[in-house]
Amino acid sequence: MPTGIPFIIGNELAERYSFYGMKGLLVVFMTKYLLDASGARAPMSEPEAIETYHQFTAAVYATPFLGALISDIWFGKYKTILSVSLLYCIGHLALALDETRTGLMIGLFCIAFGAGGIKPCVSARRTNTCSSAPTAGSTSRSTSARSLRC
């Protein structure tokens, strides 16, 4: 097994567990437990919470383009994964420590951009751990005649 596989599996499991776990509770949190700056309950209405939920989801799936650019132009895959994973953790920390709308927006912003940086880089890193090699008995150089050797 290539040495990068445990890193990739661990990163993917942590990212998916934290993302989908938080996302599953997000609307409930926004409609029942959100506080104002003084600590009094100030929940969102259900339509507002659902709109915020969908905007967050759209941001998560739109930001991988930015993550790929950051990785390709400046940092490389490994440093991008490390830095955006920290941003991702800061987002979850903001959600855990600040139960106001400000904390919610800071947390969701950090998580959206963290996920956007993780998604393209981990997928690319996954493909780099396996090398393309000709199959036994194959003399063709075409891609279809190659198999992945992990």
Q: In this predicted model, which residue has the larger pLDDT, 64 or 3?
A: 64
Query: In the chain, where are the structural domains located?
Result: 50-128
Q: Which residue has the tokens 């927006």?
A: 105
The reported pTM is 0.77
Is the pLDDT at 93 greater than 90? The verdict is yes
Q: Are the C-beta atoms of 68 and 120 separated by less than 8 Å?
A: yes
The lowest-confidence range among 14-23, 67-76, 79-88, 141-150 is 141-150
Query: pLDDT tens for residues 113-141?
Result: 998 887 777 665 555 556 555 555 555 55
Q: Are the C-beta atoms of 144 and 108 separated by less than 8 Å?
A: no
Query: pLDDT tens for residues 24-48?
Result: 999 999 999 999 999 999 999 999 9
Mean pLDDT of 6-28: 85
